[in-house]
Amino acid sequence: MSRILMIYYSLEGNTEFAAQTAAEYAEIDLERLIPAKEPPKKGFRKFMWGGSSVVFGETPALDPLKYSADDYEHIIVGFPVWASSFPPAINTYIKEHPFTGKKVDIIACSASGSCEKAVNKLKEKLPGNEFGKVLSLQDPAGDKEKSAGLIKQFIADIV
């Protein structure tokens, strides 16, 4: 078991790329959250479906987890920004598996490169934890070389 658990959701592969890359630079156990039902991956419908699921505070059922946050002192939460917030799969995790007393770092992926609102909303939902660094990535799978450099530096800073 590693010292760090990364809990993350990815619809289109950007946060997945960030998680896999992070795990190349440190021993990190990767917990990818998979909702039983996913929005369409292409087209405008994904924004409608995904956006409304955030607005309505949905908590979709998740496939079984591999790890327990209880076993870790250090957690990285990774997510794509959805409607200036975090996606419903993260909402489900926080509701069903709340944790406190952890060191928490955040990797947020977005199309705009702006994640402040979403990060603040996440922090509000995770009281009682000590927040460290935030890595904001703009669609990192679009420029893997550049993103890998940013992720490497982030991991070096937090471990």
Structure tokens at 86: 């975090």
Beta bridge partners of 80: 109
Instruction: Give, as ranges, the residues between 90 and 149 that touch ligand FMN (CB under 6 A).
Output: 109-112, 114, 139
Alpha helices in the chain (DSSP H): 14-25, 45-55, 88-96, 116-125, 144-158
Q: Tell which one of 20, 46, 94, 148 touches ligand FMN (CB under 6 A).
A: 46
- Residue closer to ligand FMN (CB basis): 48 or 61: 48
Instruction: Select the span of 27-35, 46-54, 120-128, 151-159 touching ligand FMN (CB under 6 A).
Output: 46-54
Report how far Cα 98 is from the mean position of its chain's Cα atoms.
15
- Residue closer to ligand FMN (CB basis): 59 or 103: 59
* C-alpha span between 10 and 80 (Å, rounded): 6
Binding site for ligand FMN (CB under 6 A): 10-16, 46-47, 50-51, 80-84, 109-112, 114, 139
